[in-house]
Amino acid sequence: MDSIPLLLYAFVAAISGIVLRSELNRRKSDIHHIPAISSSGLWQYYTGGVRYLIHAPDFVDEGCKRYPGRVFRVPRLFSWDYIVSGTTLVDEIAAAPENVLSASAASQDEIELTIGPEIARNLYHLDVVRSNLTRNLGKCFPEMHDELVSAFEDALPSNDTDWKPVIVLPTMMTIVARTTNRVFVGLPVCRNQDYTKLVIQYTIDVAVRGQLINILPSVLRPILGPFISSRNASVRKGMKHLGTPIRHRLEQEQSFGPNGPEKPNDLISWLLDHELAGVQDKTVPIIISRILATNMVAIHTTSAVLTHALFDLTTSPRYFAALRQEAEQTVEELGWTLAAVSRMHRIDSFLRETQRMHDNGPVTLARKVLNPKGFKLSDGTVLPFGTMVNVASRVEHFNPAKYESPEVFDGFRFSRIWDDRRTGDEGVFNQHMISTSVEHLAFGHKRHACPGRFFAAAELKAMLAHMLINYDFRAEKEGVRPPDDVFGIVVLPNRRAKIWYRKRGD
């Protein structure tokens, strides 16, 4: 029995070596004109790939310094990744049509193996988020706020005004999961602890296991990917919580059609009603898969930004007074409404600056070249067919030509235009958290901008405003921001870091 893993490792190593040499030979003539952050030799290429897994941000920073405004290559274990830098070229990548530079093809293997092939073939849940969720945001906001209040009371309990420590990221993930699922699946499921643990663990599994699958050469992914993925186990667990309500919805639809009596206004209904939902999509396992997939994006992004924001706030406590004043005055005037959080320009600016300083990694806008002739950029560089392309987001976020003192956290960087009352300026609405541009890529840009950014922004602003009004916070170590965790090209807020909180007096 002990020899089986050894044989498996030997098989993987042998196949990997063959694939690696084949890849190098096949592409050598296509890529020599694009500079590399590593030697092209076989051993140097492989060791460079290992180092890139550990120090990806350093590789990207080095490439941007050595080849500013150009394309360069970084080694993955079994292929090259192409990194595009410079405002002009980044804009060309963002604007390219899907049939030439494909976002879906870039993550095809990962989505098929971690989320499911049925989902990968029809990503209509993204359109549901873009249209139904955004359109119903005002109607759903009261339930969202009700749930976040309850979630904070459970996660940050305090019957007195004593200071207490809390590990930030897992706590924020729990609060975000509950609040988000109040809109997605409703009561009582959203408050079920086992369900909350499921969607959080699924979020972590997709990110971590997806990275492991991407390390494999493409020929081995269909073979080994199913053993790495936790998709089937997650769907089985989801059946325990969502199987009965989804079956009831399907029965109601068969009996009364799409407009049945007392139909809930939630993600389940939107998924069933969407025009791209075929008969094959209206099964309990597939609907659960889509709910889990939608949770994955929502929980990961929102909890990371909220955690980063708390680290920034406790490290720079000078922002507390102005942010708290804005939250209290706006809520006093407009109540806890979508209109109220939409008017919280300083809180919006603080969160947007947090995103600028602490994105999810050094690169974004992953694309795969689908044109057999490659993709030609305006500087003459041709990205070969079948290659993976990313843009260097960090260099744009810290571009001194776009931002004054870009290395310095300035929480009100994007709200001054509102403070100056220059509301007639054309650029005023481009400073919102939901706005995308080449110099601010946290929510993507153009064709594939994050479809859920309107929901995420409203949720984040409501949560931060609630915390400001109801709690005091301080850093675990005064003036010290916890270092980020780095996993390949993924950068996350520190998973173990704490802050201290106390309930504010009436």
Q: What is the DSSP string of 288-342?
A: HHHHHHHHHHHHHHHHHHHHHHHHHHHHSGGGHHHHHHHHHHHHHHH-SSHHHHH
Is 431 in contact with 415 (CB distance < 8 Å)?
A: yes
In 80-239, where do the E strands start and end? 80-84, 101-102, 164-167
pLDDT in tens, 277-320: 777 888 999 999 999 999 999 999 999 999 999 999 999 999 99
Query: 248, exposed or middle or buried, with CB in 10 Å at 0-12, 13-18, 19+?
Result: exposed
- Across 441-467, average pLDDT: 96
Query: 256, exposed or middle or buried, with CB in 10 Å at 0-12, 13-18, 19+?
Result: exposed
What's phi and psi for 238, nearest 5 deg?
-65, -30
Amino acid at 209: R
- Across 179-204, average pLDDT: 98
Instruction: Supply the pLDDT for residue 14.
Output: 47
Is a pLDDT exceeding 60 seen at residue 129? yes
Question: How are the residues of the chain apportioned to helix, strand and coil, as percentages rounded to the nearest 5?
Answer: 60, 10, 30
- Across 377-397, average pLDDT: 95
Copy the structure tokens of residue 216: 């494999």
- Across 64-93, average pLDDT: 92
Full-model pTM: 0.91
- Across 209-234, average pLDDT: 87
Range scoring the smallest mean pLDDT among 57-61, 140-144, 405-409, 459-463 = 57-61
Instruction: Supply the pLDDT for residue 126.
Output: 93
Is 339 in contact with 465 (CB distance < 8 Å)?
A: no
Is 496 in contact with 472 (CB distance < 8 Å)?
A: no
Is a pLDDT exceeding 70 seen at residue 396? yes
Name 170's Cβ contacts closer than 8 Å, sequence gap at least 6.
200, 495
Is a pLDDT exceeding 70 seen at residue 122? yes
Burial 424-447 (b: 16+ CB within 10 A, else e): eeeeeeebbbbbbbbbbbbbbbee
Instruction: Supply the pLDDT for residue 25.
Output: 47
pLDDT in tens, 16-63: 554 554 554 444 446 778 999 875 555 555 577 778 888 889 999 999
Instruction: Supply the pLDDT for residue 419.
Output: 67
Instruction: Supply the pLDDT for residue 60.
Output: 94
216 pLDDT band (50/70/90 cuts)?
confident
Query: 373, exposed or middle or buried, with CB in 10 Å at 0-12, 13-18, 19+?
Result: exposed
- Across 452-458, average pLDDT: 97
Residue in the block written with tokens 């729990």? 174
What's phi and psi for 474, nearest 5 deg?
-150, 155
Measured between alpha carbons, how far is 177 from 184 in angstroms, rounded to an integer?
A: 10
Q: Over the Cα atoms of the chain, what is R_g? A: 24
β-sheet bridge partners, residue 240: none
> Three-class SS of residue 83?
strand
Is a pLDDT exceeding 90 seen at residue 477? yes
Measured between alpha carbons, how far is 421 from 481 in angstroms, rounded to an integer?
A: 33
Is a pLDDT exceeding 80 seen at residue 160? no
Average pLDDT, the chain: 89
Instruction: Supply the pLDDT for residue 412.
Output: 97
What's phi and psi for 499, nearest 5 deg?
-130, 170
What's phi and psi for 491, nearest 5 deg?
-120, 125
> Three-class SS of residue 266?
coil
DSSP 36: B
DSSP 446: G
Instruction: Provide DSSP, 174-195.
Output: HHHHHHHHHHHT-TTGGG-HHH
15 pLDDT band (50/70/90 cuts)?
low
Measured between alpha carbons, how far is 168 from 150 in angstroms, rounded to an integer?
A: 17
Is a pLDDT exceeding 50 seen at residue 457? yes
Instruction: Supply the pLDDT for residue 17.
Output: 52
**Residue 492: in which H helix or E strand, if any?**
strand 490-492
257 pLDDT band (50/70/90 cuts)?
confident
Is a pLDDT exceeding 60 seen at residue 66? yes
Instruction: Supply the pLDDT for residue 52.
Output: 82
Is a pLDDT exceeding 60 seen at residue 468? yes
| Residue 450, marked binder | yes
> Three-class SS of residue 479?
coil
